[in-house]
Amino acid sequence: MSALDLHQLYEQRTRVLRRHPSLGKASVRASVALVSPLACESRRADHVTRVDLPVEEGGSGSGPTPGDLMRASLGACMAMSYRLWAARLGVDVRTVEVDVTCEFDARGQLGIADDVPVGWERLLLEVRIVTASPPSEVRRVVEVADRLSPMLANLSPAIERAHALTISRIEDTTTTTLTKETP
């Protein structure tokens, strides 16, 4: 779908939801079953996702871990959001890449250190965007997408967040880097 098609699609969705706010409400369900000692299968509609732990953690290594899926989901959501918001705001975005790095201390999850959080302590999003648009317009896209990201909103505010943005311009291959730390 082209940027213009995405722009038109989301403008139409916005108009409909402004007129009929109740159409914005949704509920999505996944069914998860333990299918072997630690492997699970998650089903939603026609999609089945196998989730497992590595052998060294007691699993069979037959699929990505829950953490792998969470990082992949977050990275995919952000990449899609940057593309969608660029289309909606009329900003050229040619390519988007997102690296998601999570820092944690396994002692929290194992319950052996009361002063250590159970989950992620720090999240770093490293975003690379190739564009023909001015860096200020791309930064605006990233700021809007980050602010309105449902995946980021679903994460605990206790997780320290850092964001690095690299913008590569097509015309002159100039690279601009912006780093933003948020508590």
For the chain, give every domain's residue range.
29-64, 66-183
Per-residue confidence band for 65, with pLDDT thresholds at 50, 70 and 90: very high
- As a whole number, mean pLDDT of residues 23-28 equals 91
Q: Phi and psi at residue 43, in whole multiples of 5°?
A: -120, 135
Cα–Cα distance for residue pair 14/6, rounded to 1 Å: 12
Residue in this structure with the two tokens 């989901």, named with its chain if needed: 73
Residue % of the chain over a pLDDT of 70: 93
Q: For residue 36, give the amino acid letter.
A: S
Q: For residue 100, give the DSSP letter.
A: E
Sheet harboring 122-131: ordered strands across? Answer: 95-103, 122-131, 160-169, 175-182
> Domain 66-183's class?
alpha beta
State yes or no: pLDDT of 67 exceeds 60: yes
- Tell me, what's the pLDDT at 73? 95
Q: Phi and psi at residue 2, in whole multiples of 5°?
A: -75, 165
Q: Count the alpha carbons within 13 Å of 75 in the hemisphere toward its beta carbon.
A: 18
pLDDT tens digits for 170-181?
875 555 555 555
Q: pTM of whole model > 0.95? A: no
First-to-last alpha carbon distance for the chain, in angstroms, is 36
Residue in this structure with the two tokens 């509609």, named with its chain if needed: 45
Q: Which helix (H) or strand (E) holds 17?
A: helix 3-19
Radius of gyration of the chain (CA): 19
pLDDT tens digits for 113-124?
989 989 999 999
